[in-house]
Amino acid sequence: MTTRERRRPDPHDAGSGTAAPGWHSSGDPLFPATGRGALLRLNRGSGSNSGLTLVEVMIGIFIFSFALMPIMGLFGRGSMATQMTGDYLTAMQTCSSYLRSLSALPAVDLPIGNPVPLDREFGGSPTNRVKVPSKSVINATEFAHRLQVRYVTRNTTKKDLWFDFMVQPGQLASMTVYKQFLRLDFEVSWRSRHDGQSNRVRLFTYKADLE
């Protein structure tokens, strides 16, 4: 019988002389009489080296820890990337939101400037006003806002904008339609809380107004 095949003896067999080696041969089997019996019980066999020593376990833990270190580092990087993406999306949402709100105002209510002074309300109608702050703090990150509004034209030599029509087939005519065709640039900048790097997002749209 090999070491691995040994089974715990029946206590009723005590003293019968048939108990497996390593166990007390007479009396309570849970309390071996000799120190050798205790050692064998822990090692699951006499003189066995099939178990792991403390040194081996320590080496295993060290190797496993060494393998886990980059994974833990990546967890940290993943968390940081999530935070940075959140900041980026917040900035983008801020840009889009303010641009949509501003483009809903009449063009005459949009001041021309680069940059336009902020921290005030835009819009002449009391029911249609947009307040644009110069900065905002969202999720503990501070975002700075910058707005630029300027004329754009299809031809830089002319200020007004016109559209082409064909009154009759082969007969082209143009007509000045817009006095103002504005371009609104909204920029949001912020400093990352993790690496201190400055980031910015800029979106733009156009606003045409009929004279």
Partner 1 sequence: MTRLGRPRQGMVIVIVLVALTSSLIFAAFLMDRSVKQGYEKFVTRERTQLELLCHAALEAAKLKIKAAPTELYTAFRFKFDEPAATRTNALYEAFLADLRLEVLDVELASESVPMTARVTSIERLGITKKGTGLSTGYVEDYLRITASASSLIAGFSTGKELKNDVVMQVTMQITKLEGP
* DSSP three-state, residue 181: strand
Q: Are 201 and 146 in contact (CB under 8 A)?
A: no
In angstroms, give the least distance from the CB of 111 to partner 1. Answer: 19
Alpha carbon distance 193, 142 (integer Å): 9
User: Which residue, 135, 157, 42, 51, is CA-closest to 90?
Assistant: 135
**Cα dihedral 46→48→50→56 (10° resolution):** 120
In angstroms, give the least distance from the CB of 139 to partner 1. Answer: 16
Nearer to partner 1, 4 or 12 (CB): 4
Helix (H) or strand (E) holding 39: helix 35-43
In angstroms, give the least distance from the CB of 181 to partner 1. Answer: 6
Strand pairing partners for 209? 180
In angstroms, give the least distance from the CB of 178 to partner 1. Answer: 7
Nearer to partner 1, 19 or 132 (CB): 132
Alpha carbon distance 98, 157 (integer Å): 31
Nearer to partner 1, 18 or 139 (CB): 139
Give backbone dihedrals phi and psi of 185, rounded to 5 degrees, phi first: -110, 125
Binding site for partner 1 (CB under 8 A): 48-50, 52, 56, 59-60, 63-64, 67-68, 70-71, 74-75, 77-78, 81-82, 85, 88-89, 92, 95-96, 99-100, 103, 152-156, 161, 163-170, 172, 175, 177-178, 181, 183, 201, 203-210
Nearer to partner 1, 18 or 93 (CB): 93
Nearer to partner 1, 33 or 163 (CB): 163
In angstroms, give the least distance from the CB of 32 to partner 1. Answer: 24
